[in-house]
Structure 1
Amino acid sequence: MRVYNENGESDIFMSPEDFLRSITPGTKQPEGYGLDQFKRIDIKDGQAFAGLKKDSIFYKLSSSGLINFSDYIFLLTVLSASRRHFEIAFRMFDLNGDGNVDYEEFEKVQTIIRSQTSIGMRHRDHQTTGSIYRGVSSALCTYFFGPKLDQKLTVEKFLNFQHQLQTEILTLEFMRKAPNEDYLIREWDFADLLLTYAGLPDKKRSRMLKRVKKAFKPCSQGISLDDYLQFFHFLSNITEVDTALTFYHIAGASIDEATLKHVAKTVAHVDLRDHVIDV
């Protein structure tokens, strides 16, 4: 959308829903919008964006909850890099080794992380369209470093920001599936969310979804938001999970539902419900 200020100047912004669409494979823009086609809005400072909670990450980026191109690149970088990558980068650039960085050091952290992620390499400045990366927004800089930008950003505070962002995006994805009055989505909707990023051919994906629907439609228990968040936390530790399951295989042990649940508890520190594992 194109946002105009009081002086008639404009810039291109995205809503949280736009951002979610941009990172979801196979999701189309709403009808009537496309390249160089924007919704024009006039927005005043402090105006809330409909649908966001008061403590939303998007309000830390701007008072309206809208994000510009620089915010977009920053959020993609935060989502695509692991906790471990950020922990290492923070300790590379702080002076005393405590993992805390100042404003200038944080700029270096961002640069090194962007250069190491496929997301950062793909999304570069586009001078022809005016989409130029200008660094972290002033609102977020104030949140991280204080109004005078003279405070230190701890690695714990940044990782909490990353966790909150991931949780909010997953919650938006969950809400897209229109949970029922008990705040549950159907098993095949859960499966559809899991397969979104799998890169499977459409026919194979369709067969898998039909199999899940056939198995659970007669006796659907539903999947809660907590189930969904727990499972994606499990997936975020998939490298360690894969290593653990490989050890089981080498030892000749069977990999059944009980084994998967045990690995989830000991490696990813999450309790997966039996029903989620069944799905």
Structure 2
Amino acid sequence: MLLKDEVADKAIKLTARERRFIKFASVEFDGQIYMTPQDFLESVVEQEPRPRLKRKTLSPEEVQKLKDVTPQLKHGSSQLFRSLRDKGIISYTEYLFLLSVLTKPHSGFRIAFNMFDTDGNSRVDKDEFLVVSSQLSGKTLFFKFEQIRTTMEKIFSFAWKGKRGIESKEGEEAEEHDDYVDDEQGLQRKHKVDTTLQIHFFGKKGNQDLQYDGFYNFMKNLQTEVLELEFCEFSKGCECITEVDFAKILLRYTYLDTDEYDNYLDRLLDREAKEKGVSFDEFRQFCQFLNNLDDFSIAMRMYTLADQPISKDEFGRAVKICTGSELNSHLIDTVFAIFDEDGDGLLSYKEFIAIMKDRLHRGFKSNVKSEGWEAFKHCLKQEMKQQS
């Protein structure tokens, strides 16, 4: 039995994403923990998982039933994860993969697929897909390629073996050729099971090719599904959310003090003479802009050169440059009402970028201290934000 200090040491060594996966994962099979589709959605939009007594241990028969209800890629939609609910399993490496999808601009996928679609037929095989996945994880093409390849093998190896007619041996002999990590947390234990994502992409037999159009739609639908969840949380069934609700969504993942947080909302309330509301399409358009935040930063540096405050016109032009579309003028006015500190019609570039990066990465990038007093203070701030 582990001593208390040893348990604490092991917990500290886990990354923020590992801790969050373990916290929200509600099922287990063959010694490995998994998220359900519902767990994944909740891990993205909720502070804490729903109460439960313990993880559910799945039987082989139950896992087979999950495989049978998984829809094909061509039947995907922006309701996929919500319709599956607890009828699916997502591994830790897939969790990281899905998180990366949420922060990527649509143009990034087209560029990646065009680079590695060697025959130009809008299809990628398994090897091509591994290279594309390296782009999703933010790594350069050839940097630690073998490590990237091995990680993605953990997601897709079982389907890949079946596609090439390689039968998996049973017993100890098979385990000798199995390079899965056997960790103590059950994140990546040795196992032989097709996950929901594998079946959705490659079919029940694992022998289908992944086409660009299908994967592009999967990415687009996943982003839309998560944004719909966030939007509906505040819209309460209405077509629009208020400008204050829009501000709360932007600020919910920041480390702002309570007073600072209130100042942002108070500025907005003082400057918004008439409430027009923000539609879902406007909200989605702004979030798609955030996925192009790196390009926006480059565009703004071209305008300001020295990170000087920026005007509404400069902001709008930079958004159009990096996204190809224009933001609604009311949305720009709302953003400036929130972030224009002294009311001079100019936006603090550094402050805006810092907060938007926290929003884009849902707090993970700045979540360095996740234990002890700092974690308690942040948790308290987040709870106060939710109640305000």
TM-score > 0.5 by shorter chain = yes
Gapped regions of structure 1 (runs ≥ 5):
none
Q: TM-score under structure 1 normalisation?
A: 0.69
Q: 2 CA distance for matches of 1:193 and 1:135?
A: 40
Cα–Cα, structure 1 residues 263 and 114, in superposed 2: closer, same or farther, change >3 Å? Answer: closer
- Superposition deviation, residue 93 in structure 1: 5.8
Residue identity opposite 1:219 in structure 2 = K
SS at match of 2:210: coil
Deviations 1:129-172 (A, max 9, x none): 32227799554334434454444323343233212211111111
Asked which structure has the greater CA Rg, the reply is 2
- Superposition deviation, residue 82 in structure 1: 5.2
SS at match of 1:228: helix
Cα–Cα, structure 1 residues 59 and 168, in superposed 2: closer, same or farther, change >3 Å? Answer: closer
1:191 aligns with 2:247: yes
1:68 aligns with 2:90: yes
Aligned to 2:356: none
Cα–Cα, structure 1 residues 141 and 69, in superposed 2: closer, same or farther, change >3 Å? Answer: closer
Aligned residues: 260
SS at match of 2:235: coil
Aligned to 1:205: 261
Aligned to 2:170: none
Deviations 1:102-132 (A, max 9, x none): 2354345446744839xx99xx967223222
Q: 1 CA distance for matches of 2:234 and 2:56?
A: 25
Residue identity opposite 1:69 in structure 2 = S
Residue identity opposite 2:218 in structure 1 = F
Aligned to 1:27: 47
Q: 2 CA distance for matches of 1:203 and 1:136?
A: 49
Aligned to 2:124: 101
Q: Which has the higher contact order (CA 8 A, sep 6+)?
A: 2
CA contact (8 A) 1:13 1:69 kept: yes
CA contact (8 A) 1:3 1:13 kept: yes
- Superposition deviation, residue 190 in structure 1: 0.4
1:18 aligns with 2:74: no
Q: 1 CA distance for matches of 2:58 and 2:254?
A: 36
CA contact (8 A) 1:4 1:11 kept: yes
- Superposition deviation, residue 242 in structure 1: 2.8
Moved more, 81-90 or 147-156: 81-90
Residue identity opposite 1:23 in structure 2 = V
Q: 2 CA distance for matches of 1:126 and 1:37?
A: 22
Cα–Cα, structure 1 residues 214 and 27, in superposed 2: closer, same or farther, change >3 Å? Answer: farther
Cα–Cα, structure 1 residues 139 and 234, in superposed 2: closer, same or farther, change >3 Å? Answer: same
CA contact (8 A) 1:13 1:66 kept: no
Question: Relative to total residues, which structure has the larger helix share, 1 or 2?
Answer: 2
Aligned to 1:170: 227
Q: 1 CA distance for matches of 2:81 and 2:257?
A: 34
Cα–Cα, structure 1 residues 164 and 126, in superposed 2: closer, same or farther, change >3 Å? Answer: farther
- Superposition deviation, residue 188 in structure 1: 1.1
CA contact (8 A) 2:89 2:196 kept: no
TM alignment of 1:28-67, pairs within 5 A: 28-30=48-50, 32-33=51-52, 37-38=54-55, 45=66, 56-58=79-81, 64-67=86-89
Residue identity opposite 2:233 in structure 1 = R
Residue identity opposite 1:144 in structure 2 = F
- Superposition deviation, residue 198 in structure 1: 4.1
Q: 2 CA distance for matches of 1:95 and 1:136?
A: 30
- Superposition deviation, residue 226 in structure 1: 0.7
CA contact (8 A) 1:89 1:109 kept: yes
Q: 1 CA distance for matches of 2:229 and 2:277?
A: 18
Q: 2 CA distance for matches of 1:196 and 1:187?
A: 14
Gapped regions of structure 2 (runs ≥ 5):
1-24, 71-75, 141-147, 152-179, 335-388
Cα–Cα, structure 1 residues 83 and 126, in superposed 2: closer, same or farther, change >3 Å? Answer: farther
Aligned to 1:131: 187
Selected match of 1:157 from 201, 204, 214? 214
TM alignment of 1:117-128, pairs within 5 A: 127-128=183-184
Sequence identity percentage: 31
